[in-house]
Amino acid sequence: MDSSMDSRLTGKGMGSVSSIVASARLESYEAADKKCISDVRRTFCLFVTFDLLFITMLWIIELNVNGSIQTQLEKEVLQYDYHASFFDIFLLAVFRFSALILAYAICKLRHWWAIAITTAISCAFLIVKVILSKLLTQGAFGYLLPIISFVLAWIETWLLDFKVLPQEAEDEIRYQPFVDSVERTPVMGPGPLSDRQTDGQFYSPPESLADSDEELEDKHDPEKGLIHQVT
């Protein structure tokens, strides 16, 4: 009887411990999800930032090559010419950065539609600009800036579609069993006293032989029993 009760209490104790561990893991996953973004998404956001900084650096180098920066800024920005200016390629990189950071870092979207829009706009604009503009007659940067901007836009699409979204979906699938286990198992198991009361079983220790012998002697000898009661 004692061994059965001990095994039942041990099983319930192990169940309560496992439920506590599962709930602790669940709370840690929820806290991590609320406080920060995943590692792959953070890498994607860093690459989007690299896209903007790299295009900006190339554009500044192009301005220095063709003359002073102030003169070239007035020519490409204030006197903007679609056929000869690189300023719109820089603005295209700013557009990609703003849209992707807003969608995938701030709003934490889990869909590809935002990057599909930015990549489609970037590709369409660059293809039309290369066809209609005179950038190819302006030296190496006429080739370099459109090609690099085109390649970076597609690398961002590949990173999100083949790395970020599948990895986060896999993490969510791995996280789901902890939710199910916490929902199925109570956090704290019932105590030993409540188990005995609910089962209707009360444990009473067996009477010792010495006590039974004394009671028999008291019955046969009333005076002795009376003396024991008085003392």
Q: Is the pLDDT of residue 65 over 50?
A: yes
> Would the pLDDT of 134 be above 90?
no
Q: Which of 30-39, 89-98, 159-168, 203-212 comes out lowest in average pLDDT?
A: 203-212
pLDDT tier at 1, thresholds 50, 70, 90: very low
In sequence order, the 6+-apart residues with CB closer than 8 A to the CB of 125 are 88, 92
Q: What is the pLDDT of residue 109?
A: 94
- Please state the domain extents for the chain: 10-184
Distance CA 106, CA 23 (A): 28
**pLDDT tens digits for range 19-34:** 555 555 555 555 555 5
Q: What is the pLDDT of residues 161-204, one digit of tens each?
A: 999 999 999 988 887 765 556 566 554 444 444 444 444 454 45
Unique residue bearing structure tokens 């039942």? 8
pLDDT of residue 31: 53
- What local confidence, expressed as pLDDT, does residue 24 receive? 54
| All residues at 6 or more sequence positions from 92 whose CB lies less than 8 Å from its CB, including other chains | 121, 122, 125, 126, 149
pTM for this predicted structure: 0.66
* CA-angle at 193, arms to 188 and 195, nearest 5°: 70
